[in-house]
Structure 1
């Protein structure tokens, strides 16, 4: 499903009708420079239309995605296209969005994953490092997608296979980047206090590290940080360091 002339009431009506009750991954493309944005919407009821709501939010209600919002303001609504890349089942929607983001590398997206990454912005340096591992054939295929052209199942299969065939150096580089990302995203300095005296027993770089050292349950530790209550079985308090 691909549309241009997005300010046209008939086009808007058709987008609404075709999206009713469906979940899927969409792409917005700037027709002036081929830059794009990938997003998704999950619709749980046949009477709901989250995809259409996302469409409206992006183009008419000043959506929070800063880079895309700024581009729409600069170029105008009719300089963009709206495309459904894939209709999805609810459980797979986020993972499919992530797949498209990591294979199309849309310039208006700040996050490189739709899963477990809310609120984290990648630096330009990190994004360039991620791009560095792309093969020339992959760049060409991505270019076709960014121009609104569909890839055949055979090409998609080759892209997936190419991801598995990266060199050891590329895999190591990718792993390092993702480790840095996870550390920045999820790590907060944590300290463990004695349950009786509240004396500091140890300081750790993250809640998970503290959890491993004290052989505790991560969810229990996380709940304790929020509630401020003692973990009685370990006789400790857990809190984030200032």
Structure 2
């Protein structure tokens, strides 16, 4: 189901079952509410994004369950003022911003809040992905993630500014997408991978003002791999409160 150039509308109480491709697509949609929606597809079904949006603003997604073979929610270029609450995601690839930076005509992504959300058995949880050799210089800013539960998530917190999944992408340059003003608060649960917090930012445009507050992510993979760890590259920020794994910010 697709919505384009729609304003002041809503969907409520709909179930989307086994869509062949993405379930709900939004383009240039403004002031739109999504509540009480159920999205279901097998975990191995390709390109079955639950909710995908671009060039949209002032959207609210709440009380929704998404299980799919791709991103539960995909947030693309030109999206602003998006509020997500009380969402359960799994299976799937988490709530993803991006990928960003691949095309020249992309616009900033700003103003995202994700709260009171559960990721259960997903490959990723909180995910931001930007292309390694990006064509556009844009800003991804003012993101807040709080009260997020991770249950057996592959990569609970994953900023990947070296996104290069397949040719013709070339691993030759740095991402030109600036990520700044990112707050991660009260993120807890279990990580399948030893690296539970991955902050891999651009060398040319380091992440700015990343706040970690009360992070408690335990590794529940192979015991011999040891406790969870965090990895930081080119990131400026601060940490306070409980920190498991130990943070790696300067």
TM-score between the two structures when normalised by the length of structure 1: 0.26
* Richer in strand (by share): 2
Higher relative contact order (CA 8 A, sep 6+): 1
* Larger Rg computed on CA atoms: 1
* Richer in helix (by share): 1
TM-score between the two structures when normalised by the length of structure 2: 0.26
